[in-house]
Amino acid sequence: MRIEVLIDVKTTLGEGPLWDAEQERLYFIDSFDGRVFRTTVDGREVRSWDVPAKIGSMALRKDGQGAIVSLQTGFHALDFKSGDCDLIVDPEADKPTTRINDGKVDRRGRFFAGSMDTKEEGPLGALYRLDPDFTLTTIDTGIICSNGPCFSPDDKTFYFADTWTGEIWAYDYDISTGAATNRRTFTKVDTSKGGAADGSTVDAEGFLWNALVYDGRIVRYAPDGTVDRIIDMPVKKITSVMFGGPNLDILYVTSMAKPPLPRFPDDPVQRGSTFAIYDLGAKGLPEPRFGA
């Protein structure tokens, strides 16, 4: 195994690595600066788009015209050609202290994304499902900081974390209807050490990989929730993970250059970089696109 800096654009809050298997490009975002980045597998060719508010996550569209992005001001459609970013729906227009955060698409083209309290203190957030026809459904409520949504390879389990509860949850998932039910604890994270569950992905074997933000470790969990492997990263403020590369065997890891709140730790010069981890002996699955 080796860990390398793929690209260093000093993202204030780097998040949401997303591998486009069709075009072989890696997307990631800067949540606080409101930017979407795209780069090649070697990190040499870089393109970026500005969005009109803080961004929590994105989903590529099946029509090839751009992406669905979750912003502080709701769900928007970003056109890569024009740069236009048009509002679809704002489910929390009456909540000035929340923003939409992490999200992923299921294999029927639905976008799941949850919101968070920007102070990361109160259970003001919710988990939403945006369908291809732009119908919005509330899946869960009472969430402090939504993170880590992802799906098992058999589409029967949906994983999700409320970062500061110290738990990653599992739900029974019905791929035919998009219903997530029977929430239960998949695994617990020891937040007393300063780390907490952030972004996740599931590999081809059904193991869940999670970034422990502020702790600088990536943990691979077996399907029964037990710890299978731990990787120490060169920075503490890692935020999310995603498999990519031509063979889906490179683990991409985003990080933040500046902590969002004063209580969180600083990092060395590699802070804000997007990392690539090679030779893990594991592979991911192609990330689905939004749309019918």
**Residue written as token pair 């020891």:** 190
CA pseudo-torsion sign 256, 161, 76, 176: positive
CA dist 53 and 281 (Å) reads 38
pLDDT one-digit tens code per residue, 219-255 = 999 999 999 999 999 999 999 999 999 999 999 999 9
pLDDT beyond 80 at 260: no
Give the pLDDT band (50/70/90) at residue 194: confident
Is residue 20 among the annotated active site residues? Answer: no
Residues 167, 254: Cα–Cα separation, whole Å: 21
Instruction: Using pLDDT thresholds of 50, 70 and 90, give the confidence band for residue 149.
Output: very high
Selection from 240, 204, 238 nearest residue 223 by Cα: 204
Bin 287: left if φ > 0, else alpha if -120 < ψ < 50, else beta.
Answer: beta
Query: 68 to each of 248, 250, 283, how far by Cα in Å?
Result: 23, 24, 26
99 is in an annotated binding site: yes
Tens digit of each residue's pLDDT (9 = 90 or more) over 2-41: 999 999 999 999 999 999 999 999 999 999 999 999 999 9
**198 marked as binding residue:** yes
Query: Any idea what the CATH number is for the domain that residue 130 is in?
Result: 2.120.10.30
Q: Is residue 58 situated within a structural domain?
A: yes
Q: Under 8 Å CB-to-CB from 41, ≥6 apart: which residues?
A: 24, 25, 26, 244, 245, 246, 250
- Tell me if 102 is assigned to some domain: yes
Residue 210 assigned to a binding site: no
Tell whether 292 is covered by a domain: no
Which residue is catalytic, options 198, 203, 215, 267? Answer: 198
In this structure, is residue 173 part of a structural domain? Answer: yes
Give a yes or no: residue 187 inside a domain: yes
> What pLDDT, on the 0 to 100 scale, is given for residue 113?
98
Q: Does some domain include residue 285?
A: no
Domain assignment of residue 75, yes or no: yes
Q: What percent of the chain has pLDDT over 90?
A: 90
Which tokens is 130 given? 């945006």
Read off the tokens for 1. Answer: 């195994």
Q: What was the pLDDT predicted at 262?
A: 67
286 found inside a domain: no
Number of domains in the chain: 1
Does 281 score more than 80 pLDDT? yes
What is the chain's mean pLDDT, rounded? 95
pLDDT for residue 131 is more than 70: yes
- DSSP notation for 18-59: EEETTTTEEEEEETTTTEEEEE-TTS--EEEEE-SS-EEEEE
pLDDT exceeds 80 at position 265: no
Domain of residue 20: give its range: 2-278
